């Protein structure tokens, strides 16, 4: 039975701890409750809003006239198991990192570099979560969704999700159209490879490990992230606040020539990704205190709510950072978390 609460504080449901209230709020554990929620929203003339772990989202300080649904659909089902791989169907509400640790102890590779990322399984395809060379798109086979308008369950293939860097159909044409119910992953039983990332390679050299196990890779990632990314339970943040901008390869090459220490990531012949954290640091903003917010002193990509920041504060500080970086490099940063007004 759907239990609907009224005027629920948003702050408690987003890791940057900013926001007003949800007009209505309910926890969804079953597919049946989704049908009840749709009916409730229709009767009360409001719309549905799907909430995951709240670790990549920024809200306004207003009362949002929505029925917010906290998806807590559980499930972990091995649907195929061969000598080379396993296919696992996971409930959207499962905690992402607990799921990743389960795959690692089962010796299944493909998600180990995505260790220690906050949030839920169902939220990961929305922005195609990625870290240390792995993206969820590389292992997702399909996604089971509830089509809100047509009230039917559909299965979307990986291709249909149109995954790209921090992107998918769930952020664009099909925004608010579906509720993600389960995600199916295909994970490999082959020996894992060390992620091609300087920080990770350095970690294994320092620890004298040549052919790490999956668990050793997971532990390395947890160690590296622990230094660069503050625990959102202690320091309010949403991870990277900006995307790494994709610029023309000519612009990236010039930047690299002038700054040999810079790591750039070619995407194709014409496009190259440059690290936003580096641009912000070089623009002199790393660790800068803007009053209610500051840029984390160990990672310029992370915007921290010092305690009482408002939505207005976050937008004003975001725009100051974008302007400072643009004035120095002529590159426009784009925010990474979704903004809900």
User: Which residues, 61 to 90, sit near ligand EPU by CB under 6 A?
Assistant: none
Q: Residue 281 to residues 157, 178, 285, 297, 330: CA-CA distances in angstroms? A: 39, 38, 5, 10, 15
Q: Which stretch binds ligand EPU (CB under 6 A): 97-105, 156-164, 207-215, 238-246?
A: 238-246
Q: Is 20 a residue that touches ligand EPU (CB under 6 A)?
A: no
The conformation of residue 245, written as its DSSP 8-state character, comes to P
Residue (34 or 224) nearer to ligand EPU, CB: 224
DSSP character string of 271-298: EEE--HHHHHHHTT-TT-B-SSEEE-TT
Note the helical H segments in 79-194: 96-105
Q: Is 299 a residue that touches ligand EPU (CB under 6 A)?
A: yes
The least distance separating ligand EPU from the CB of residue 80, rounded to whole angstroms, comes to 29
**Helix/strand/coil (H/E/C) assignment for every residue in 66-82:** EEEEEECCCCEEEEEEC
Q: Which stretch binds ligand EPU (CB under 6 A): 2-10, 205-213, 235-243, 245-253?
A: 235-243
Q: Is 128 a residue that touches ligand EPU (CB under 6 A)?
A: no
The least distance separating ligand EPU from the CB of residue 294, rounded to whole angstroms, comes to 13
Q: Is 286 a residue that touches ligand EPU (CB under 6 A)?
A: yes
Q: Which stretch binds ligand EPU (CB under 6 A): 59-67, 70-78, 152-160, 277-285?
A: 277-285
> Is residue 140 within 8 Å of residue 96, measured between CB atoms?
no
Q: What DSSP element (H or E) covers 340?
A: strand 338-340
User: Which residues, 248 to 267, sit near ligand EPU by CB under 6 A?
Assistant: 263
Q: Is 177 a residue that touches ligand EPU (CB under 6 A)?
A: no
> Is residue 206 within 8 Å of residue 216, measured between CB atoms?
no
Pairing of β 85-91 and β 76-81: antiparallel
Note the helical H segments in 63-177: 96-105
Q: Report which of 65, 3, 45, 10 is spatially closest to residue 28, judged by C-alpha positions.
A: 3
Residue (33 or 336) nearer to ligand EPU, CB: 336
Total residues binding ligand EPU (CB under 6 A) = 18
Residue (38 or 131) nearer to ligand EPU, CB: 131
> Is residue 157 within 8 Å of residue 192, measured between CB atoms?
no
Residue (207 or 259) nearer to ligand EPU, CB: 259
Q: Report which of 65, 116, 69 is spatially closest to residue 95, judged by C-alpha positions.
A: 116
Q: Is 112 a residue that touches ligand EPU (CB under 6 A)?
A: no
Q: Which of 170, 278, 290, 311 binds ligand EPU (CB under 6 A)?
A: 278
Q: Using CA of residue 307, residue 313, residue 319, residue 320, what is the dihedral sign?
A: negative
Q: Which of 93, 212, 239, 292 binds ligand EPU (CB under 6 A)?
A: 239
The least distance separating ligand EPU from the CB of residue 29, rounded to whole angstroms, comes to 27
Residues with catalytic roles: 166, 240, 336
Q: Is 132 a residue that touches ligand EPU (CB under 6 A)?
A: yes
The least distance separating ligand EPU from the CB of residue 251, rounded to whole angstroms, comes to 16
Residue (86 or 279) nearer to ligand EPU, CB: 279
The least distance separating ligand EPU from the CB of residue 283, rounded to whole angstroms, comes to 11
Residues 325-330: contacts with CB within 8 Å, 24+ apart?
325/276, 325/279, 325/280, 325/283, 325/285, 327/283, 328/279, 328/282, 328/283, 329/255, 329/279, 329/282, 329/283, 330/251
For residue 98, what are the contacts with CB-CB under 8 A and spacing of at least 6? none
Q: Is 229 a residue that touches ligand EPU (CB under 6 A)?
A: yes
The least distance separating ligand EPU from the CB of residue 46, rounded to whole angstroms, comes to 30
Q: Which residues bind ligand EPU (CB under 6 A)?
A: 131-132, 228-229, 239-240, 243-244, 263, 275, 277-278, 281, 286, 299-301, 336
């Amino acid at each position: 039975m759907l239990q609907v609460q009224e005027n629920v504080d948003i702050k408690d449901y987003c890791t940057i701890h900013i926001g007003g209230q949800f007009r209505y709020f309910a926890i969804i554990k079953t597919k049946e409750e989704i049908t009840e929620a749709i009916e409730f929203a229709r009767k009360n003339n409001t719309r549905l809003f799907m909430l995951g772990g709240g670790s990549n989202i920024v809200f306004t300080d207003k009362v949002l006239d929505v029925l917010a649904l906290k998806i807590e659909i559980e499930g972990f089902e091995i649907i195929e198991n061969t000598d080379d791989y396993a296919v696992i169907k996971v409930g959207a509400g499962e905690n992402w990192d607990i799921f990743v640790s389960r795959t690692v102890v089962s010796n299944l590779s493909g998600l180990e570099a995505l260790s220690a990322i906050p949030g839920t399984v169902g939220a990961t395809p929305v922005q195609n979560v990625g870290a240390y060379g792995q993206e969820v798109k590389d292992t997702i086979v399909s996604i089971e969704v509830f089509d809100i308008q047509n009230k039917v369950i559909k299965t979307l293939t990986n291709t249909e999700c149109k995954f790209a860097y921090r992107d998918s159909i769930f952020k664009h044409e099909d925004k608010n159209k579906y509720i993600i119910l389960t995600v199916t992953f295909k994970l490999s039983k082959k020996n894992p490879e060390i992620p091609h990332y300087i920080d990770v390679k350095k970690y294994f050299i320092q620890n004298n490990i040549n052919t790490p196990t999956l668990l050793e890779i997971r532990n390395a990632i947890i160690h590296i992230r622990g230094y660069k990314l503050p625990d959102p339970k202690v320091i309010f943040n949403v991870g990277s606040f900006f995307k790494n901008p994709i610029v023309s390869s000519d612009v990236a090459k010039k930047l690299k020539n002038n700054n040999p220490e810079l790591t750039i990531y070619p995407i194709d012949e014409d496009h190259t990704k440059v690290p936003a954290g580096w641009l912000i640091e070089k623009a002199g903003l790393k660790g800068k205190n803007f009053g209610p917010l500051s840029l984390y002193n160990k990672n310029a990509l992370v915007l921290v709510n010092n305690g009482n920041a408002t939505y207005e504060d976050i937008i004003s500080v975001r725009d100051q950072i974008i302007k400072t970086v643009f004035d120095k490099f002529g590159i426009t940063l784009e925010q990474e978390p979704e903004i809900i007004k």
